[in-house]
Structure 1
Amino acid sequence: MRLGARIRSFRQARGLTLVELAGMAGLSHPFLSQLERGQARPSMVSLERIARALGSSQIELIAAATDDLVPGHGTARVSLVRQMEGPQGPFGGGEARILVRGEVSFVPMEFRGTNRSLGEFYRHDEDEFLHVVSGSVLVDLADEGQYELESGDSVHYAGGTLHRWCSRGEGEYHLFIVKERRPSS
């Protein structure tokens, strides 16, 4: 039920109707309605399609849906996430871990990937900042250009910018990403 309520909140914050979100995600309107009311559970494939349509990610939706399970999260002014804590899961071409809990104005994430292909573009309304902790990354911002980033380099792009990235070398790369968060309704 928490996940469905969070999807509804994200949808409403973006000014979308159920029918519009269903069309964007390639899912049925009745299924989304049941999901939002806690009467259906999405597969990981469906959740990815919903997240993409909302300009979000599976891990962000899951994290937002579990925030209220953290004791004191609603009243705390401090969010502490220890080394092996925080929601983790697929994000883009790798794995991400969200580094904060609760309703905050930004979402910091740790990202690790090995993808050597750029894959599909992502787009969301929120600004995003990316810092390369280790490795070498090619960041493709469509009409805004491609940037080869090394350890210590950073890039910021405005909301609505098409973006994707991949490894420029062998092995894993490690990123620190900060995404603006829209307030949920």
Structure 2
Amino acid sequence: MSDEPHFLREERVEISRADANSEAAVEPLQLGKRVREIRLSQNLTLEEASKRTGLARSTLSKIENEQISPTFSAVNKLVKGLGIDIPQLFSQPKRSAAAGGRRDITRTGTGTPHPTPTYEHEMLATQLTSKKMIPYRTTVRARSFEEYPEWVRHDGEEFLYVLKGSLLFYTEFYEPIELFEGDSAYYDCEMGHSLVSTSEADAEVIWVTA
């Protein structure tokens, strides 16, 4: 028989029960879903994330779709390539218990730069996590559709507003259409899409991804 006082054993049992109840209330982490959330929050395609992390595009896709579990080496590559730390990868996004006063102001030219071969993005409202919308300002560097190795596609819906210049808006199921300053478009992001500047200076747009 244990020499531990009875009241300590009872206290330990109560703590164990509380821990069990707490664990039962915690939603299990879906690592693949978390990787996808982080990738999309940075407006990265699978191809771009593959180049950043050094992981094959097919491997990333399998991880995001919970078809395989990442190895320790793959986790390190994800963390380094996506510019995050390990706790961010293995923690659920924080959710507010009730509607609150979230606010984020981005001063002119102070957004987070994210250049790609075809676009030069300026990510806006980057201090807020778990956003329902991802806003960013983009300079369209591409001058030909052939500059895109594949269609840009990702989850969600997207709103596009032309700030400066003109561009050709390519979509997978429609003919290309030229958009001018003040024009806008709303579309399904899972449909392949891309932009090509047609004005003398590179076009500039505001994108909001939901």
TM-score by length of 1: 0.62
Deviation at 1:163, TM superposition (A): 0.3
Bigger Rg, structure 1 or 2? 2
Specify the alignment match of 1:47 in structure 2: none
Specify the alignment match of 2:165 in structure 1: 135
Q: Does 1:34 align with 2:71?
A: no
> Does the CA-based 8 Å contact 1:81-1:100 persist in structure 2?
yes
Higher-RCO chain (CA-CA 8 Å, sequence separation at least 6): 1
Equivalents in 2 of 1:7, 1:88: separation in Å? Answer: 26
> Does the CA-based 8 Å contact 1:114-1:171 persist in structure 2?
no
Deviation at 1:158, TM superposition (A): 1.3
Q: Does 1:113 align with 2:150?
A: no
The CA RMSD measured in Å over matched residues stands at 3.5
Specify the alignment match of 1:154 in structure 2: 184
Give the number of aligned pairs. Answer: 141
Deviation at 1:23, TM superposition (A): 5.5
Equivalents in 2 of 1:21, 1:33: separation in Å? Answer: 15
Following TM superposition, the consecutive aligned residue runs of length 4 or more in structure 1 with deviations greater than 6 angstroms are none
TM-score by length of 2: 0.56
CA-to-partner distance for each residue in 1:43-95, whole Å, 9 max, x for gaps? Answer: xxxxxxxxxxxxxxxxxx55xx49x9xxxxx9861111111222112146121
Equivalents in 1 of 2:33, 2:155: separation in Å? Answer: 17
Which residues in structure 2 correspond to 1:1-185 (within 5 Å)? 9-11=34-36, 22=59, 24=61, 30=71, 31-36=73-78, 38=79, 41-42=80-81, 65=84, 77-91=102-116, 93-101=118-126, 102=128, 103-118=130-145, 119=148, 120-180=150-210
Instruction: Look up the SS of the partner of 2:162 in the other structure.
Output: strand
> Does the CA-based 8 Å contact 1:98-1:110 persist in structure 2?
yes
Deviation at 1:141, TM superposition (A): 0.3
Equivalents in 2 of 1:7, 1:87: separation in Å? Answer: 25
Instruction: Look up the SS of the partner of 1:34 in the other structure.
Output: helix
> Percent of aligned positions with the same letter in both sequences?
24
Equivalents in 1 of 2:57, 2:200: separation in Å? Answer: 41
